Amino acid sequence: MKDLKSILENEILSRVNKPLRYVGTEYNSVKKEWNKVKLRTLFAFPDLYEIGMSHLGLRILYHLVNEQPQYLMERVFSPWTDMEQALRERDIPLFSLESYRPIAEFDCIGITLQYEMSYTNILNMLDLGKIPLKANERKNEYPLIMGGGPCAYNPEPLADFFDFFVLGEGEEVILEVFETISSHREKHNGRQDKKILLKELAAIKGVYVPSFYKPIYVDGVLIEVQPTKPDVPRRVVKRVVQDLDKAYFPLKPLVPYTEVVHDRIMLEVLRGCTRGCRFCQAGMIYRPVRERSSEVLERQAKELIKATGYNEISLTSLSTSDHSNIKPLLKSMLDKYEQDRIGISLPSLRVDAFSLELAKEVQRVRKTGLTFAPEAGTQRLRDVINKGVTEENLMEVTTAAFEAGWTQIKLYFMIGLPTETFLDLDGIVDLAYKVLHNGMRILREGGRTRQAKITISVSSFVPKANTPFQWEKQDTLEQLKEKQRYIKEKIKDRRINYNYHEAELSILEAVFARGDRRLNELLLKAWEKGCKFDSWSEHFRYNLWLEAFQELNMEPQELANISEEFDRKLPWEHLNMGVTKAYLWQEREKAYQTVATEDCRYQSCTTCGICQDLGVSMVLERK
C-alpha cells in the first residue's frame, strides 16, 4: 500500500477545497522525529483550520510543548465535509498535519473546548480517527483524550468521551501532565496502564478525571457529583498563571500559507477582565487581571515581527484599553513600525473617549472599523447586567468617531437578558437611530459625501455556567424569535443594518453550557444523526437535534434551564474556577436590585474569591 502522505499529496489534496487546510509545513511549524521523543501528543481543534489557527492558545501550547526536546506536538483540525468524504470513501483515517500520521497513533490527544457548538465535531474527529468514542471503550493502546479550555469548567456533557480534563490556564499545567504520562510509560515498558495512569494524573492540581466521580440523582434531581475514589479531591481547583511576564509566550509562532480568520501577530497584553458584566463568562473565569509589562511587550513585538513577517500586531485581551500603560505603549509601537507599514489593531474597545483616542492613533497606519458593545438598550437594563456604559458615553464616543472620519459604526446588543421588557428592545432601536441621525448630521455639516451607516448585531442571551446569571431562565425559542422580529419591524431605515443569530443555536448552547452528564447521550445521538459543524449555519440542522431530544424523551427547554435555588448543587460545583458561588449569587441579587459593582482594578477588592482562595493577585503595570 502506498503511504498516506503520497496518497494525500497526489490524489486527494488537489481535489478538495482549500488544500492548504491540511498541509502542516507552514513557516515555524515544527516536525520532530517520531522515534526520538518520549511522548507524541496532538493538539486537536474541533473546527476548521482557519478558525483553529486564529486561536492564541493553540500557538502557546504547540510551541511550548515542542520546545521541550523530549515531547512532540502536532496538529489536527476538523476536516471540511469534502475532505471528510474523501477520507471516508478511501477509508483513510484522520491524520495529523505535520507528519500525516493517523491520529490514533499518538499517545495523548488534547482537544480544546472553546465553544459548546463544536462538540459534535469532537465525536466526528474521533470517529474519523478510528478511535472509540467513549473513554471506557478505549483500551490501553488508544491515545489518552484530554480536554481543556473555557468549556472545561463545565465538562459534564462530555464526561463519557474524555479521559481527563485540565482546568485553568494550560501553559501552567501541561508539562506536568506530559511528564506524568511519559514517566508512567517509561515505568511500564513504553505502554500505559490507564487505570494507574489516570490515578497519577488525578493527583496533579487542576486535573479532573470524570470517571472518578459519580453524579447522585434523587428523583431526577442532581444532589451532588461525588468522588468514587478515596484519594481524589472533592473539588478540583483550576490552575492560574501568576506572572504573565514570566509565563511562556511563543516568539516564533506559526505563519499560515493561506489566510486565516485572525491572520496577524497576536500579542497578549493582559489576561482577565474585572469589569464584571454579569452575563460574561470570560469576565469571571479569567480573573484576576494580570498585565504584561510594556517592556516585555515591546521586546516580544520586535521578535515576533522578525520571526513572522506579519504586517499587523493585534494587542489582544478581553479589554485592551484597560491596560494601565496602553497609550504610551501603543504610541511607541506605532512610531517604531510605521515606516515598515506595520499596523497595530485593538480587538475590543470600551465605550469611552479614551478608547476612541486609541483608535484614532491606530488609524495612522491602517484604517479599521469601529465596534462598540452597549449590550442593552436602556440604562436600567445596562445597570442590571453591570455594563458600566451610559447613553452619554455612547453618544460622546460616536460623535468623536464621526468627527474623526469614520462613517460606519457597529454596535453589539443582546436580547433575552434577565428582567428585559419590550421597552428595552425599543431602547436598542432608539439608540441605533440616535447614533445614525447624529452621524448624518455631523457628516452633513462637515460637507462630507459619504453616508453614515450603522450595523446592529444582536445576539441572544445564553446563561452560562460560572456567571452571576448561571441560574437565570433562558427565553423560549418563540420568545427569542418574537423579539428578533419585533426589532426587525422597527428598523425601517436602510442605513441601519440589522444582524441576528439563529435563536435555535442559542437554545442548544444553553443546554450544553449548563448541562450535566445526561447530555452525553444526547450529543452522541445528534452526532449519529449527522450533526456536525453546528456553528456553521449551512450545516446546522436543528430538526435532527429535535429528533435526538425526542428519541431520548428529553425536552430542550427544560434542559436549557436549571433550578434557581442557591442551595441546589450545580452540575459543575465539584470544579472550582476561583470565583465563589456565594459571590456569583450576590452579584445576581444586585442585578435584581439594579446595583452596580465596581471594577476592582479601579476601586477596592470586591472579594470575588479568586485572589483569596487561589493564592494569586492582580498585576498592574501602573497603579
Partner 1 sequence: MLVRIKYRKTSAGRFMSHLDLLRTIERIFRRAGLPMAFSEGFNPHPKVSFGSALAVGITSDAEYLDVELREEFPLDQLRERLDVAVPSGIEIMEIRQLQTRTRSLTAQINMARYRVYVPLAEKMEASELEQLIQKAMVQPTFIVTRDGKKGKRQVDIKNGIYKLEGRLDEDYIILQIDVQTGSEGNIRPEEVVEMLRKTGDLYLREGLQIHRLGLYVREEAAIKTPLEI
CA distance 93 to 126: 10
Is 307 a binder of partner 1 (CB under 8 A)?
yes
Is 90 a binder of partner 1 (CB under 8 A)?
no
Residue 308 corresponds to which cell in the numbers above?
513572522
Give min distance, CB of 288 to ligand SF4, in A: 4
CA distance 248 to 241: 10
> Would you tell me how many other CB atoms lie within 10 Å of the CB of residue 421?
11
Please list every residue from 226 through 255 that binds partner 1, using CB under 8 A: 255
What is the residue-wise DSSP string for 203-249? TSTTEE-GGGEEEEEETTEEEEEEESSTTS-SSEEPB--S-TTTS--
Distance (Å) of CA 548 to CA 128, 220, 462: 21, 20, 21
Question: What are residue 335's phi and psi, to 5 degrees?
Answer: -60, -45
Looking at the Cβ atoms of 23 and 289, the one nearer to partner 1 is 23
Specify the stretch interacting with ligand SF4 by CB under 6 A; choose among 195-203, 362-370, 450-458, 608-616.
608-616
288 cis-preceded (ω within 30 degrees of 0):
yes
Looking at the Cβ atoms of 110 and 343, the one nearer to partner 1 is 343
Give min distance, CB of 92 to partner 1, in A: 17
CA distance 612 to 615: 6
Question: What are residue 432's phi and psi, to 5 degrees?
Answer: -60, -45
Looking at the Cβ atoms of 311 and 390, the one nearer to partner 1 is 311
Residue 289 corresponds to which cell in the numbers above?
487581571
Looking at the Cβ atoms of 308 and 317, the one nearer to partner 1 is 308
Is 206 a binder of ligand SF4 (CB under 6 A)?
no
Q: Which residues make beta-bridge pairs with 41?
A: 73, 108
The only residue of 7, 13, 92, 618 in contact with ligand SF4, by rule CB under 6 A: 618
Judged by beta carbon distances under 5 to 8 A according to partner kind, the member of ligand SF4, partner 1, none in contact with residue 10 is: partner 1
Q: Count Cβ neighbours within 10 Å for each residue of 331-370 and write b for 16 or more, e otherwise.
A: eebbeebeeeebbbbbebbbbbeebbbbbebbbebeeeeb
Size of the site for partner 1 (CB under 8 A): 25
Which residue type occupies 6?
S
Is 288 a binder of ligand SF4 (CB under 6 A)?
yes
Looking at the Cβ atoms of 204 and 255, the one nearer to partner 1 is 255
The only residue of 274, 308, 474, 561 in contact with ligand SF4, by rule CB under 6 A: 274
Judged by beta carbon distances under 5 to 8 A according to partner kind, the member of ligand SF4, partner 1, none in contact with residue 606 is: ligand SF4
Is 10 a binder of partner 1 (CB under 8 A)?
yes
Query: Per-residue x/- mask for partner 1, residues 24 to 53, rule CB under 8 A?
Result: -xxx--------------------------
Is 605 a binder of ligand SF4 (CB under 6 A)?
yes
Is 608 a binder of ligand SF4 (CB under 6 A)?
yes
Rg (C-alpha) for the chain, rounded Å, is: 25
Please list every residue from 317 through 356 that binds partner 1, using CB under 8 A: 340-341
Distance (Å) of CA 434 to CA 76, 282, 375, 459, 496: 47, 30, 16, 21, 11
Is 398 a binder of partner 1 (CB under 8 A)?
no
The only residue of 238, 287, 290, 323 in contact with ligand SF4, by rule CB under 6 A: 287
Pairing outcome for strands 213-218 and 221-227: antiparallel
Looking at the Cβ atoms of 98 and 472, the one nearer to partner 1 is 98
Please list every residue from 253 through 282 that binds partner 1, using CB under 8 A: 255, 257-259, 263
Looking at the Cβ atoms of 180 and 311, the one nearer to partner 1 is 311
Is 86 a binder of partner 1 (CB under 8 A)?
no
Q: H or E segment at 512? A: helix 503-513
Cβ–Cβ under 8 Å, residues 93 and 42: no
Cβ–Cβ under 8 Å, residues 34 and 99: yes
Specify the stretch interacting with partner 1 by CB under 8 A; choose among 18-26, 150-158, 239-247, 589-597.
18-26
Which residues sit at the interface with partner 1, rule CB under 8 A? 9-11, 13-14, 19-20, 23, 25-27, 255, 257-259, 263, 305-311, 340-341
Which residues sit at the interface with ligand SF4, rule CB under 6 A? 274, 287-288, 600, 605-608, 610-612, 618
